Amino acid sequence: MNEKNKKIIAITDDDSSIRMSIERTIKKYFQDIEILQFTNTTEIKKFLLNNPDKIDLLILDIYFGFGETGLDILPNIKEFSPNLPIILLSAMEKNYGQKITDRAGDYIIDFVAKPATETELIIKIKKALTTKEDKTKTIEDLQKENYLLTEMLDIKGKGAGQLFEDEVNNKLKNMTKVFMQSPYEPKENIIINGQEIDVIAFTASPLPFAIMLFEAKYFPNAKIIGNINDPTKIIINNIEKISTKRRNLFEQSENQFKQVSKRIEKVLYDFKYTKKEEKLRPFIQNFIVFTDTTDISQIKTINANKYTKICKLKDLTQDFLIKTAFATPRRTVEENVKTIILQNLF
């Protein structure tokens, strides 16, 4: 039996770098977790045969280069450990993910594509561990719940949306030309004129001054359909869902833009900056970021304004941000205007 309050997660993959990466991610978000690593199907089968109740979750790769696959050993695993939750891991999600999930059927509770984002991986692990403790839930119940992971899960006191925002912000902090150093550090979840702004960043000198807003959304393995200025449809596992909280995908982004613009104008007005040839706000760019597994190819952007850009987390690079934010000609903001805004915006 496991030590009290201690969970054991087994990772089976022939790539040691993947195993170590997953282990680091898990230990970053969970306490009292023990990780066991296995390199092939023979090792994990032998372990479960001798220790059928020791593992609380198995993260299992599908292909090991040669021999039997993760799919092949699923019946054996269920024979040894019938209540063991299994998350399949594969790099083939784009073309074969659904087929693999269908083939695995009730042997697994979920599927994660490589490379998995931290947010997606941790939320699915949390869901699997929680469900294992609830003896009233069946595998089918868990599969249905995993189709829509936007519910708030208690991971270090954070929900799914906050986890994804953290993932976005941590990536941005490594971009030396985007974030300015102290005292102008990035701001998260601040309130400007009553409007909550998820993340604000500034470009570093000598680039033109800009503010970028990030509206982080978490719809893993989903398809988003609709026009940016109309209610959007969310399709998950061929089931249509409607985002009742934010039916208009860009509504909050537009509100953020307006609120920051008004605040900047007020700051400059209070400092009696009245140069007629200077616009009273620097250029503001909105970036709406999705998880890498979200299909955004069918979002219609014909009515999009030039201040809004949608992208996936993997596309969120320093070059992408800079080229997007400064794609159109604009006035260079004077240094004194930069200083006034940066010191008085919040």
Confidence category of residue 49, pLDDT binned at 50, 70, 90: very high
Task: Tell whether pTM > 0.85.
Answer: no
Q: Rounded to a whole number, what is the largest CA-CA distance in the chain? A: 79
| CA 241 and chain centroid, separation | 19
Higher pLDDT, 183 or 255: 255
* pLDDT (average), residues 245-266: 71
Contact 193, 262 (CB under 8 A): yes
Best mean pLDDT range from 124-128, 273-277, 280-284:
124-128
Q: What is the mean pLDDT of residues 308-326?
A: 88
**pLDDT per residue over 230-250, tens digit each?**
767 777 767 776 554 444 556
Among 287, 274, 268, CA closest to 342:
268
Lowest mean pLDDT among 39-53, 114-128, 310-324: 114-128
Least confident among 50-59, 149-158, 160-169: 149-158
H/E run at residue 86:
strand 86-90
The more confident residue out of 158 and 146 is: 158
| Sheet with strand 239-242: strands edge to edge | 239-242, 233-236, 223-227, 299-300
**Angle ∠(30,32,33) on CA atoms, nearest 5:** 70
